[in-house]
Amino acid sequence: MLTKRLAMCAELVSGDGIACDVGTDHAYLAAELLRSGKCKKVIASDVAEGPLRAAKKTLDQTGLIDRSEIVLSDGLLNVPSDGVTDVVIAGMGGETIAHILDKCSWIKNDVNIILQPMTKISFLRKWLCKNGFDILCEKIVCEGRFFYTVIKAKYDGEIHELSEFEYEIGKFDWNYDDVKAYGRFRYSQLAKLSKQVEKIAPETSDVYIRLMHEIKIKCGYME
Ligand SMILES: C[S@@+](CC[C@H](N)C(=O)[O-])C[C@H]1O[C@@H](n2cnc3c(N)ncnc32)[C@H](O)[C@@H]1O
């Protein structure tokens, strides 16, 4: 069974064609996309041989290897684009994800993109918006003490602009409990940070206070 984080990535896959799982590691996501019947074929790619051996083992053991293509590739550079409708890049830093997208020209051809950055999430949002990608939705997944952001995006060639709040916190539907829990988590983080910097960087402290104020409105009363 997939972790909630990878299950959310799988949920956002369109299932209209071939999904490519970039940085597949053990190919758990790729295997589940096939097992569940969502995809008829997957590409499991990774930059390193070790993870690809693990991917092959998973796909062999689950009897799904015939419907899988295992590709050694830095990002999408060696991945064949034919029939690829979905690209998932999960479990990597925001800068690495942006770099992978930047180096791939066919990602602009109506591909459904699912991103699960572990770090530098606001950097990734800004990069996407500046480089012609539309952030269609964002989800939050809560696993134990950790929150994970999953972004669904597509290239449309337009320059997009989000609000300061959306760049820093996210473009979520605030009706979900996990999103509200994430809001409370970010609120307490920002409260500490704004105190720490209020003397040395009052403008930054003001930004944090603005974000906290908006979180409070989105989540409702939270003290
Ligand atoms: C932390 S694992 C994440 C595995 C899985 N995607 C997940 O979210 O659970 C990161 C994987 O990405 C691979 N990776 C890192 N940089 C990469 C790149 N530029 N291109 C392809 N794979 C990469 C690593 O080799 C590793 O297997």
pLDDT, tens digit, for every residue of 112-121?
Answer: 999 999 999 9
| CA–CA distance, 204 with 118 (Å, rounded to integer) | 23
Q: How confident is the model at residue 169 (pLDDT cuts 50, 70, 90)?
A: very high
Residue ID of nearest Cα to ligand 1 atom 2: 91
Q: Ligand 1 pocket, 117 CB below 6 A?
A: no
| CA–CA distance, 150 with 121 (Å, rounded to integer) | 10
Region for 149 from its dihedrals, namely left if φ exceeds 0, alpha if ψ lies in -120 to 50, beta otherwise: beta
Domain boundaries, the chain: 4-167, 177-219
Residue ID of nearest Cα to ligand 1 atom 27: 25
Q: Ligand 1 pocket, 96 CB below 6 A?
A: yes
At 1-25, the pLDDT tens digits run 899 999 999 999 999 999 999 999 9
Please say if the pLDDT value at position 222 is more than 80.
Answer: no
**E strands in 56-201:** 68-72, 84-93, 112-119, 133-143, 146-155
Question: Largest Cα–Cα distance in the chain?
Answer: 61
Q: Ligand 1 pocket, 92 CB below 6 A?
A: yes
Tell me the CATH class for 4-167. alpha beta
Provide CB contacts within 8 A for 49, sequence distance 6+. Answer: 72
Residue ID of nearest Cα to ligand 1 atom 9: 91
Q: 86 forms bridges with which residues in the sheet?
A: 19, 112
At 65-94, the pLDDT tens digits run 999 999 999 999 999 999 999 999 999 999
Q: Which atom of ligand 1 is nearest to the CA of 92?
A: 10
Q: What's the CA-to-centroid distance between 97 and ligand 1, angstroms?
A: 10
The CA distances from residue 121 to 81, 84, 97, 171, in Å, are: 26, 25, 10, 11
Residue ID of nearest Cα to ligand 1 atom 11: 23
0.85 cut: is pTM over it?
A: yes
